[in-house]
Each structure stands twice: as C-alpha cells, then as structure tokens.
Structure 1
Amino acid sequence: MKKLIILSIFCLGISMSYADNTTSTQDTVIRTVTIVSETNPSTGAVRTTTTKTEKIIQAKVENSGSNVIFDGSSYNIIFSWKKKKKLQPHWTGIGMGFMNYNDKDIPNGRLQVSRSHNFTVNLIDYHKQIKNSNWLFVSGIGFEWSRYHFQDNAALTRIDGVTRFEPAPEGINYNSSKLLVYYITFPLLLEYQTSGIHMSGGVVAFFKYYSKSQVNYYTERGRQVINMGRDLNIRPVDIKLRLQVGINDVHVYGYYSPMSMFNKDRGPDLRTYTIGVMIGI
C-alpha cells in the first residue's frame, strides 16, 4: 500500500528599492515544500521524502508619484521630501519716516515736517502662506518712536481735561516744542510677492506705552526744559492703515490714520500720515 501525502507551503518575500524615476522593481519569491510518505507493505516501514523548490518572479510596479501639498512644501507618499522655496514676509527690519497731518483747522498747531519723524524697529514676524500661491498673511511685533515738532510758539498741554495747543507765556519764545509718543505695534497684513517685488497692505494696531509734551527755551539763567504733560488724552490703542512696496529687502511704506490721535472731544483732530523707508533684516 502506498500512501502519498503532499504538503505545499508558500512563502512570499518582497524586496523594495527606490529609484530616481517613477518606476521601481519588486521581486516575488515563491518557495514550495513537498512531503511524500510511502509505506512498505511487507515490513510496514514508512519512508518520507521532502522536495523543496524555489521560483523567483520579477515584476515592475509603476509609482504613481502622488504628492500631498502641506504648508507650501511637497510631501511625497514615499517619504521623499521635495523642498520648495518658501516665501518670506517683509515686516522685520528698521526704518525711518516723516510724518504730517492737516493742520489747517488747528490753531497754533502747525507742524515742522522736516523735524517730525518716526523710527521703527520690527523684531518678530509670523506668516502663513495661502495654499501654494504667492500670497501671505503676515503678523508680528514691532516698536515705533514718533516725534512731532511744532512751528508755532505754543505747546500741547491739558487744560480742564482737554488737550490743546497753548501759546507760550508772554516774553518767552520756545526754541523747541515737541510731542513724543512711543508705541508697540501689531500688524495684520496681506502680502503678495513675485520676482523679488513685494506689495502688502492692511491694518496695524498701535498700543501706546509712553507720551510726553516738552518745550525748551532760553532765559538769562540759560536753557530751560519743561515737560508740559504726559497723559495728554492720546488714544491708548490706535489703528492705522499701512501700504508697503519694495524690492528684495528695501521697501517704502506709508501709514494713514483714519481716526484722530486723541480721544474724541478730548484733543485736536490730528489724523496723521507717514511716508518712510525700511531695510529688512
């Protein structure tokens, strides 16, 4: 009597390789194990025979090359990182500008534009690219120091709770009459970039942390410096519109204040505007 038992076991091994193009080779290895048992009818002895075979099948698999776009960078599903040059915002930097306002209806409040300027230091920016476009949302933190110098022989001071330009006392001629206002700034801008040229616009919030009106003049006792007031009803939070155009890291910026610098009915209607130049860092 002959008894035949055949057992086949298939094992699959896959080897993967990466290629620079979109085609990769995958080898399939098939191993077969056959076991045959025979029984001698006379003696009853059992003899077992084992046979092993191996077959290698080569197959080519086309890589679809699918990518996932994330935060302006290309993320490949086979973990190859395709770095794309990111757009950089143009907020951080240092700058200087000249300020002005319409002083036609402000008695004793004419401005010396050549001596009225602001200094800007923008330290931090945060930006978010809009999908895979040339547009950015830009925010950050900056500092601004503004100095207004006045032409008339008068100074800003608060009288009966209202800030106004008060003429100098009789016999005194102010050598300098100025207003100092220092701010922390927070922008919210939309920026577009192409071929090294960038344009941005939006609003900037100005948080006042220091202000002072100061005059100086000369008498027989020498130079006198007088502080005319610190809390001058200046808005603690001001909003200005900003427009900026530039090439690479050099740009021209402008501000316009749609609201008066002073609280309503508590000071003159000073709606300032600024033009300046910044160098990016």
Structure 2
Amino acid sequence: MKTRIMILACLLAVPAGRMTAQQQTAPEQKATVQTQGDSIIIRKGKGDMRIKVYEEQLEDGEKKEVQIYEGVYLEKVDADKRTFLDALPFIPKKRRYNAYEPHCSGLYIGYSRLANDFLSFGASDKMVLDLSKSWEFGFNILSVYHNFKKNPHWGINLGVSWGYRSFNIDGNYALLKENGTSIFTAGNEETSYNKSRLRHFFFRVPVLMEWQQRVGRRKVFFNAGPEFEIRHGVKSFSHINGGKKKTVGKGMYVQPVGINLLAQAGYGNIGIYLRYSTYGLFQKDKGPEVSPYSFGVAWYL
C-alpha cells in the first residue's frame, strides 16, 4: 500500500516540476540606479522594458520616494531589415543620417553621339548627325544594392532601366537597308531625304561600384561599372521628297546586345553621367563602323 502511494506521489510531482520550471524561465531582470536620493528602477522582461523614476520628497516630516514617471519600451524592431519593398521603384524609404544611399538613375536624359573608334569623342564622318536633336531618355524600373559596412562609404548598385534613343541624321541623307547591309545613303536629283533618323528602345542593367561621402546635408558620390544593354524596336525613318515620315528599314542589322561603360557623379539626388559602348552599333560588315556614346543629367529617386 505504501509503495502505491509513493508511486502516485512521484507521478504527480512530475507535472508540478515542469510548471515550476516554465515559470522560472525568462526571469525578470531588475536594476536600480540611485542619484542624489532619487531612484531609477529598470525592469526588463521577455518582450519589454519598464522604467520607473522615484523622487525623494518630504511627507509629514519624513523622507519618502514618490513615483513621478513610468515608461514601457517594447521589444526593439530592426529598422535596417530589408524587405521586397526595397527593390521596388518610387517607394519612399526612411534612412538613417549615415545610411548608404545608392544612386541608380531614377530618370535621365542626355545627348547621343556616334564616334569612329572606341573611347573617341569626336563626331563620326561615317554617319553625320544633327547633334542637337540626337538624344536619349530612360527611367529606372528596379533597383537593389549591397553595402559593405553598417555606415559605409562603399557599395554595389544593381538596377534595370528602360528607355529610348534616337540618332538624328543631318542633311540630305538616310540610313537604308540594301543587299543585306545598312548603308548611309545621300539623296540625289530624283530622291531627297530630310529629317532622317535611326531609333531604338532599350533595357539596361548597370552594375556599379559606388563611393559616397556626406558633405553638409547631402552626399557627394561617384560610381562606375559595366552596363548590359538589350536593344529592340530598331527602325530607320526619313521624309522622302518632302513627304510624310516613312519607315525605310527595320532592324538595320544593329547589335541586339551591347555592353557599355557607365560613370556617374553628383551631389544629393542630381548627377551627371557618361555612357560609352564597348563595341560598334552595327553587326560586323553589316553597317557603318561607329561606336555610340551619350552624356547627360540624372535625377536619382
């Protein structure tokens, strides 16, 4: 009989011990700070922290500590944690004073040029342009970045932009498609060309290494790196014999994929850029040997 009673007591003691252990996990931490008779008591529990302030006052000739303040601070939320919203464009983001601020173009516009050789900035004599009317514009549709430190000067930016580029041909010339090539053709007595141009749309994916330094309220920055370009919707237009604009060729044997070198510099949300293609605009032996480049201004969102 005594043996049965002892076994039953042991079985009842097991859940009671578990309940006691659960109550003792995550004990409340308490710290008391005393300063010139006043007291500050800090109690830290599992998910919050309570602060009580007591002031020493005289009541009925006796010194007593009277509570004058109590505050509750909830569990800290990491404000630097990134979500998928950080990759979306035009979403306002709260940033700390020294936080890294990437500069992938939000909106940009600039002049387009054609040179004879890579890294040459002179105007091409193989395809003469009206430089004041040859331009490009684009806007950023996706942007992500990686910074190297908590309060960095350095980071890597990755973006995707979409836009439009137009080369306006000067004089009585047009870019025609003949015998499997694109030929820069002059007008004659029978056929005249006016306001001719070559245009294409593009997707661009820049991968930029950036340095930045705060000066006053904003940051000076510089970034550079390769940019991959996909060209589409290529067309050549001209006004023939003073008539309406007419499409004189599509595709025009333009390279569908290009690799550019991109450099940007600026202050705050405004900057300038220089973009240069690493190889020719047209496929080999399919058109004039010209290298496109552009420069302009950008507004970083």
Query: Is the TM-score greater than 0.5?
Result: yes
Contact kept in structure 1, 2:206 and 2:225, CA below 8 Å: yes
Select which of 120, 124, 144 maps to 2:138: 120
1:55-83 Cα distance to aligned partner (Å, 9 max, x none):
xxxxxxxxxxxxxxx9988xxxxxxxxx7
Alignment partners' CA distance in 1, 2:32 and 2:142? 42
CA deviation after TM superposition for structure 1 residue 230, in Å: 0.8
**Residues 198-245 of structure 1, C-alpha deviations (whole Å, 9 max, x = no match):** 1000011110121100001455xxx32221111111111111100000
**Paired residue for 1:94?**
107
SS at match of 2:244: strand
**Alpha-carbon distance in structure 1 between the residues aligned to 2:147 and 2:195:** 47
Structure 2 match to 1:131: 149
Q: CA deviation at 1:175?
A: 2.4
TM-aligned CA deviation for residue 252 of structure 1: 0.2
Matches within 5 A, 1:144-223: 144-195=163-214, 196-219=219-242, 223=243
**Cα distance, 1:105 vs. partner?**
6.4
Q: Which has the higher helix share?
A: 2
TM-score by length of 1: 0.68
1:175 aligned counterpart, secondary structure? strand
1:1-281 matched pairs, under 5 angstroms: 15-17=28-30, 85-102=98-115, 106-107=125-126, 109-132=127-150, 133-195=152-214, 196-219=219-242, 223-281=243-301
Aligned AA (1:192): W
Alpha-carbon distance between aligned partners in 1 of 2:167 and 2:204, rounded to the nearest angstrom: 18
How far, CA to CA, are the matches of 1:144 and 1:235 in structure 2? 17
Describe the SS at the equivalent of 2:109: strand
CA contact (8 A) 1:176 1:217 kept: no
Q: Check conservation: 1:87, 1:134, Cα contact below 8 A.
A: yes
**Which shows bigger deviation, 96-105 or 157-166?**
96-105
Aligned residues: CA RMSD: 2.9
Q: Distance in 1 between matches of 2:283 and 2:79?
A: 42
Q: Provide the rounded CA distance (Å) in 1 between the counterparts of 2:189 and 2:241.
A: 14
- Give the match's secondary structure for 1:261: coil
State the distance in 1 between where 2:206 and 2:231 align.
15
Superposed displacement of residue 99, structure 1: 1.5
Please list the CA deviations of residues 29-73 of structure 1 after superposition, one character each: whole Å capped at 9, or x if unmatched. xxxxxxxxxxxxxxxxxxxxxxxxxxxxxxxxxxxxxxxxx9988
Letter in 2 for 1:274: S
**Can you give the 5+ residue segments of structure 1 that lack an aligned partner in the other structure?**
1-10, 27-69, 74-82
When residues 136 and 19 of structure 1 are mapped into structure 2, their CA distance, relative to the original with a 3 A threshold, is: farther
C-alpha distance in 1, partners of 2:99/2:31? 27
- Describe the shift of the 1:92–1:124 C-alpha distance in structure 2 as closer, same or farther (beyond 3 A): farther
Are the aligned partners of 1:94 and 1:122 in contact in 2 as well (CA < 8 Å)? yes
Q: Which residue of 2 aligns with 1:49?
A: none
2:60 aligns with none
SS at match of 1:170: coil
Q: How far apart are 1:275 and its partner, in Å?
A: 1.0
Among the aligned pairs, what percent are the same residue? 22
Q: Which amino acid aligns with 1:122?
A: N
Asked if the contact 1:92–1:124 (Cα under 8 Å) also holds between the matched residues in 2, the reply is no
| CA distance in structure 1 between the aligned counterparts of 2:248 and 2:227, rounded to whole angstroms | 29
Task: Indicate conservation of the 8 Å contact 1:72/1:84, yes or no.
Answer: no
Render the CA deviation track for 1:78-117: whole Å, top value 9, x for unaligned.
xxxxx7843121114111101212257644x211111100
Aligned residues: 212
